């Protein structure tokens, strides 16, 4: 069964720290992987898309990496800010033309 796992479910860090969010998936034959953030009661905001041929993607203070052989992706957030507090979701295209989502990591940045 193709699954996406995100651990931990919740994370709290002081403002200014760098942090890493983890995502693991069960099948290395993926097409793309996409990271999203979701604020409470809101929709999903796309952060980064990594294609299967890429190893990483960067946008501002965010850097996402992809290691298909180990079934892992990480989202690195530099110099965290209170506005980064949200739930971060990892989603994978396994080749069945639909996104399979992890359950998310709820991130709290402590001022």
Q: Is 30 within 8 Å of 90 (Cβ atoms)?
A: no
Closest CB 40 distance from other proteins, rounded Å: 11
Angle at CA 73, nearest 5°, toward 26 and 62?
155
Closest CB 70 distance from other proteins, rounded Å: 21
Closest CB 45 distance from other proteins, rounded Å: 7
CB nearer to other proteins: pick between 103 and 108: 103
User: How far apart are the C-alpha atoms of 79 and 56, rounded to whole Å?
Assistant: 19
Q: Is 77 in the site for other proteins (CB under 8 A)?
A: no
**Which positions touch other proteins (CB under 8 A)?**
31-32, 34, 36, 41-46, 49, 89, 91, 93, 96-104
């Amino acid at each position: 069964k193709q699954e996406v796992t995100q651990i931990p479910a919740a994370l709290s860090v002081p403002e200014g720290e760098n942090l890493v969010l983890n995502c693991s998936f069960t099948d290395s034959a993926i097409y793309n992987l996409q990271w999203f953030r979701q604020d409470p009661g809101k929709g999903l905001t796309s952060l980064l898309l990594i294609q299967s041929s890429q190893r990483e993607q960067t946008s501002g203070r965010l850097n996402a990496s992809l290691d298909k052989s180990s079934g892992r992706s990480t989202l690195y957030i530099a110099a965290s800010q209170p506005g980064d507090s949200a739930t971060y979701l990892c989603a994978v295209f396994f080749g069945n033309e639909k996104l399979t989502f992890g359950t998310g990591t709820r991130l709290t940045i402590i001022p």
